[in-house]
Structure 1
Amino acid sequence: MSQPSFKLPRRHFLALGGVAAGATILAAEPASASSGTSNDHITLPGYAFTLGVASGDPLPDGVVLWTRLAPEPLALDGLGGMPDRAVTVRWEVAEDEKFRRVVRHGAERATAGWGHSVHAEVHGLRPDRVYWYRFRVAGQVSPVGRTRTAPRPGANLQSMTFAFASCQAYTDGFFTAYEHMAREDLDLVVHLGDYIYEGAGAGTIGRPHFPLAETFALTDYRIRYSQYKLDPALQAAHRAAPWVVAPDDHDVENNWAGDHSQPDTEPDQDPAVFRLRRAAGYQAYYENLPLRRSSMPRGPEMQVYRRLAFGDLLQLDVLDTRRFRDQQLTDQSLRWDPNRQILGAKQEQWLLAGLGASRARWNVLGNQVFAMEADHTDGPAGTYSMDGWDGYAAARQRLFDGLAKRNVENFLVVTGDAHRSVAADLKLNFADQNSRTIGTEFLGTSISSGGNGTDMDSLGVTWLAENPHMKFHNSQRGYQVVHLGRREMHTDYRVVPYVNVPGAPVATRASVYVQHGRPGVAHVSA
């Protein structure tokens, strides 16, 4: 995989220290394409579609189409070389890749207040069908993307394949895994957070962050997203299939919780100050990903959790495990406090009600931090991560008890964040391995975060020894492909041997199977 060809003028490096101090840009409400005059004859300083195209959140009659205009994507003002005005962007959807049969077209106004991003919500398409799309502006044509609509509600669907991924630190490694993902035959990609990393630093592989300083203001986040989205492998994966996305911590700041910043590279921020930072992080996330207007941030608030259905085969519930959680504990003896929340009462009730009413064959949670219990210490004294569901053990128990009470079948959790892969049975009582298994969790490794990784490390040895509900472990980089069928499903753990240089091959490290009506791991093929 080659590096992007965009080069930074020397003045950008000289000005780097001042970027993080920039003020947050206040966003304006996006205008409809029908307001104002056409901008077809506007002159831009370069190719507008440097950041690629994407689609997402598919419905039976349509999808969201995304792009962001940025002829100078790393410009220090965060506007990507665009004029400080609205620009009309036209889009087309076709039944064929050469656009001989265009079935829908329209226009959106890309505004400076929203980073000249486009989120075209297309309707009137056929269910369960592949389409191609593209954009036009100022006489320029975007790359062509491929997307797919969801099946009709309740349609008898025999199979479906989706990938899930997370954690792509630019400074830790090349995004080689996305090159391979783009070649998979996928109906959907689910991204579970850490799309960018907010921290400072140059790394060790020749892919330094830009700006080098940590991101705080909207300008900083916009430039950081531009850097990530210039990656050709990431662009290829977006063009290949629709994505469903949700942020985790690094999309704003490491280990944040609710209105609380976490002290790492800077002192713990006042909640009012942190809310301004969260607003900037949320806005840049929305500007750069294929989200519907229902997820458009309003300052420091954003609707992340949502539900998507794919015929009668899959109900996908996307969670928000950051915004409504209590602050992480420093004393793990308090992790069973019944008042502690990770989802918040409203989201928790929404989730259980939706799962209880589901008629889908498979019920999948898109979840940011691992739900299974994970003892990190050899011997009888257990230690647990306070950032995952282990730090909110009573909230997890409420969820699991609610699933058992409602007899939710074929419950699966797909998870990111941990930079390692695990397949595990979800026990109603982890202290009693003979207790009921209520589902299966597939923890997925990172795209690049953590560097090359190894097949097994010391933590993996401990996890498998101390947590008998864990049935598989690997700590290489890669992504996961989930194959859903009527009688069984399986997840392929796809790994690359290295990410410190481009060009790594991909292989299936293991396939983990679950049978319909029998929760937990049935077998592992390695």
Structure 2
Amino acid sequence: MDEKNLSRRNRYQQESVNRSRRIFLKSLLAGSALVALDQLGGRRLTDALANAAGGTPTYGLPRFEPSEAVGKGFDQSVAAGDPTPTGAVLWTRIDPSLVTGIRAAPYDPQLVQWLDNSAGEPNDSVRRAIEEGKFLMVELAETPDFSEVKLTGYTPVWKDYDNVVKVDVDGWLEPRKTYYYRFVAKTGHVSQTGRFRTLVPEGADLASLRFAYVSCQDYTNGYYHALRFAAEEEVDFVIHLGDYVYESVGDPTYQSPLPDRQIKLPSGKSKAFTIEDYRTLYRTYKSDPDLKRLHERHAMISIWDDHEFANDTYYPAVAPDDSLDSDPDRRRTANRVWFEYTPARVRFDPSKGFRDSLRIYRSLKAGNLAEFIFTDERLYRSSHPCGEETLDRYFTAGCPRMNDPSQTMLGAGVSQQKEWFLNRMKNSDALWKIWGNEVQFTPLKVLSRYMNLDAWDGFAGERKEITQALKDAGVKNFLTITGDLHTYEAGLIKEDYENDPDDAAVGVEFMVGSVTSSNLSEMVHQAATNTVSHSNPVPSEAMDGIITQILGAATPLTSALVDKVAGELDTIIKTENPWIKLFNSNTHGYCVMELTPYKAAWTAYSVSDTQSRDAQKSLLFQCEVPKDQARIHILKK
């Protein structure tokens, strides 16, 4: 190791030692909580509540000992999120019939407290809450048997937030290590064991980084084989690009969810509207064994797309399929429940409106190798450029407004997100700049019409503005990972898609297929069998128009013609969109990307079946992007 890197490492290690003597604590409402401080008492808590050396808590506080079967009372298991070089956000939920948590009201949502070894013992109210079992004990170790605990603390169960626990241990751990964690209640109930891997410090050399990414997991539409296979991957973390839940659970009058995957909402409606509706969705989804396994094995970095609230949503809190009127209460509720169930280093303030209560766009760095920049493309975006009718949004000829830069996805005027995003991209000193992007960035035309103006085609003026800014700034090694369309794609990002040659590309987009949500090929089958799924990537009305033009108005679609239509649709898309080099919309799965100082390697995996309990995975696509070159070297197609 050269002298410069050795000095950097020594300096970082010293900073880590200093941080081990003190921790920056916040209440859940301000972002996370390792311990809580009663605002009336105003006294400091010490290592009695969190001991970096791993000893037994002092001041006579009880040590909670596991005595029940592992996982009993923890139906949603555990999860870790937003890893750093020295920690992650840890999450669980315990059954409220076993532990009744504390209310958020007595705790200052803006509380920020530095603690050190000179502080006194816990005040009476916090001691009582711990002794009464309203806190869980959290343990971290480097081995799954917890034979040598590295960190112990107590963290509140938040009654007002559906009895969840969120604790940020950033600042307590060592870089580039695997840690195991679990939660223990005073009752003896103990959670499943989770694990995560810390990152290398910012600026440090990193030989490789490997991550998986997924999107669009309609619970009612199939089994989570893709998540089970992704859990088995040896990766540093997993990225979820949105549609973690679907607000629609299926109307039995026209939909047929799998018999053992049906969800009944407390409101009795087919879509979530109330806080208990949204909580029911997350509780149900997180009870799936394959999703639990993924969370137990890897930290996850999550953003949302539309279905965490409602389909095709836009500012100000409009769900166009339900009403063109703003519904701020429903949007704020969806924000709150996403926050409750997502282990992310973000803040939620219930006193603010839907737009300002929660900000999910953020970035993460892994040494000097990569910076991940995640955006929110729903909360602040403009309405659809050509109207809100189905065929205004899908399979449409377009309109002038889509090319107006003020037609914004990122929210200029109501958010500083665009400026933040461009500054992060242009000023990043990491080799690879990875954009966590919800909807398709490159154009997609079918039969000379735009397939989807809910994606960046509906914001083409802003798209060109962004691409030009990155090109003018000389940004290299720009990669976009994308979900939403339930399709696998590898395509070149250009400033001018009609005239720029491939060697003038600015970056590369890699889209992942869905975990279970319907793809374009399945939509063709639906048209032949007169069935519908609420997780289709485009509305059935738009697909019917595409099929009619492919077959001719007088030719009805039959089962015998399904493969012919699907094949022709695939050919049409590749022909009309030459910047798309790989395309597949007839399977499900996940993607893995490995970054090195020399190249980015992308691998797409498919699963054989989402409708049965058994499935196999197979290699679908594989390609590489060389350092400093926005081109796609295809290895397998």
Shared fold per TM-score greater than 0.5: yes
Deviation of 1:133 after TM superposition, in Å, equals 0.7
1:383 to 450, 471, 485: 450
1:308 to 364, 380, 383: 364
Determine the structure 2 residue equivalent to 1:401: 468
CA distance in 2, matches of 1:289, 1:190: 12
Determine the structure 2 residue equivalent to 1:474: 584
Answer whether contact 1:420 1:473 (CA < 8 A) is retained.
Answer: yes
Answer whether contact 1:498 1:504 (CA < 8 A) is retained.
Answer: yes
- Higher mean alpha-carbon deviation, 441-450 vs 117-126, is at 117-126
Written as runs of structure 1 = structure 2, the 5 A alignment for 1:241-280 is 241-264=298-321, 266-268=322-324, 270-271=325-326, 274-280=327-333
- Higher mean alpha-carbon deviation, 458-467 vs 492-501, is at 458-467
Deviation of 1:39 after TM superposition, in Å, equals 11
Cα 1:232–1:453, aligned 2, differ >3 Å: closer, same or farther? farther
Deviation per residue, 1:98-140 (Å, 9 max, x gap): 1122111211111211111111100221111111111111211
SS of the aligned residue for 1:126 comes to coil
SS of the aligned residue for 1:234 comes to helix
* Matching of residue 99 in structure 1 with residue 146 in structure 2: yes
* Matching of residue 325 in structure 1 with residue 381 in structure 2: yes
2:35 to 17, 23, 33: 33
Determine the structure 1 residue equivalent to 2:411: 344
CA distance in 2, matches of 1:190, 1:372: 21
Determine the structure 2 residue equivalent to 1:3: none
CA distance in 2, matches of 1:459, 1:92: 53
CA distance in 2, matches of 1:313, 1:348: 24
* Matching of residue 143 in structure 1 with residue 192 in structure 2: yes
Determine the structure 2 residue equivalent to 1:483: 594
SS of the aligned residue for 2:220 comes to coil
CA distance in 1, matches of 2:87, 2:568: 46
Determine the structure 2 residue equivalent to 1:89: 136
2:223 to 174, 177, 181: 174
Deviation of 1:384 after TM superposition, in Å, equals 3.9
SS of the aligned residue for 1:57 comes to strand
Give the counterpart letter for 1:156 in structure 2: D
Written as runs of structure 1 = structure 2, the 5 A alignment for 1:12-91 is 33-35=35-37, 47-70=72-95, 83=100, 85=102, 87-91=134-138
Counting strand residues as a fraction of each chain, which structure ranks higher? 1
CA distance in 1, matches of 2:63, 2:157: 11
Deviation of 1:200 after TM superposition, in Å, equals 3.4
* Matching of residue 126 in structure 1 with residue 197 in structure 2: no
SS of the aligned residue for 1:239 comes to helix
Answer whether contact 1:168 1:194 (CA < 8 A) is retained.
Answer: yes
Cα 1:260–1:140, aligned 2, differ >3 Å: closer, same or farther? closer
* Matching of residue 500 in structure 1 with residue 548 in structure 2: no
Structure with greater Cα Rg: 2
Deviation of 1:320 after TM superposition, in Å, equals 0.4
Deviation of 1:275 after TM superposition, in Å, equals 1.1
Counting helix residues as a fraction of each chain, which structure ranks higher? 2
SS of the aligned residue for 1:120 comes to strand
Cα 1:434–1:52, aligned 2, differ >3 Å: closer, same or farther? same
Answer whether contact 1:453 1:498 (CA < 8 A) is retained.
Answer: no
Answer whether contact 2:64 2:184 (CA < 8 A) is retained.
Answer: no
| Unmatched segments (≥5 aa) in structure 1 | 1-26, 73-80
Q: CA RMSD in A?
A: 2.5
Cα 1:231–1:524, aligned 2, differ >3 Å: closer, same or farther? same
Answer whether contact 1:159 1:486 (CA < 8 A) is retained.
Answer: yes
Deviation of 1:209 after TM superposition, in Å, equals 2.0
Answer whether contact 1:422 1:472 (CA < 8 A) is retained.
Answer: yes
Determine the structure 2 residue equivalent to 1:77: none
CA distance in 2, matches of 1:296, 1:105: 28
Determine the structure 2 residue equivalent to 1:184: 233
Answer whether contact 1:119 1:291 (CA < 8 A) is retained.
Answer: no
CA distance in 1, matches of 2:609, 2:62: 48
SS of the aligned residue for 1:462 comes to helix
Cα 1:515–1:369, aligned 2, differ >3 Å: closer, same or farther? same
Determine the structure 2 residue equivalent to 1:11: none
Give the counterpart letter for 1:294 in structure 2: R
CA distance in 1, matches of 2:408, 2:611: 38
SS of the aligned residue for 1:373 comes to coil
Cα 1:508–1:65, aligned 2, differ >3 Å: closer, same or farther? same
* Matching of residue 109 in structure 1 with residue 156 in structure 2: yes
How many residues of Structure 1 are paired with residues of Structure 2 in the alignment? 484
Deviation of 1:82 after TM superposition, in Å, equals 5.8
SS of the aligned residue for 1:335 comes to helix
Determine the structure 2 residue equivalent to 1:287: 340
* Matching of residue 209 in structure 1 with residue 209 in structure 2: no
SS of the aligned residue for 1:141 comes to coil
SS of the aligned residue for 2:291 comes to helix
Cα 1:260–1:191, aligned 2, differ >3 Å: closer, same or farther? same
Answer whether contact 1:384 1:391 (CA < 8 A) is retained.
Answer: no
- Higher mean alpha-carbon deviation, 306-315 vs 121-130, is at 121-130
Deviation per residue, 1:357-403 (Å, 9 max, x gap): 111111000010010111122xxx33241100110001101110110
Determine the structure 2 residue equivalent to 1:76: none
1:450 to 509, 518, 532: 518
Deviation of 1:48 after TM superposition, in Å, equals 2.3
SS of the aligned residue for 1:131 comes to strand
Deviation of 1:31 after TM superposition, in Å, equals 7.7
Give the counterpart letter for 1:350 in structure 2: W
Deviation per residue, 1:129-184 (Å, 9 max, x gap): 11111111121111111101111111110111101101000111001111111110
Deviation of 1:419 after TM superposition, in Å, equals 0.6
Give the counterpart letter for 1:427 in structure 2: K
Give the counterpart letter for 2:91 in structure 1: W
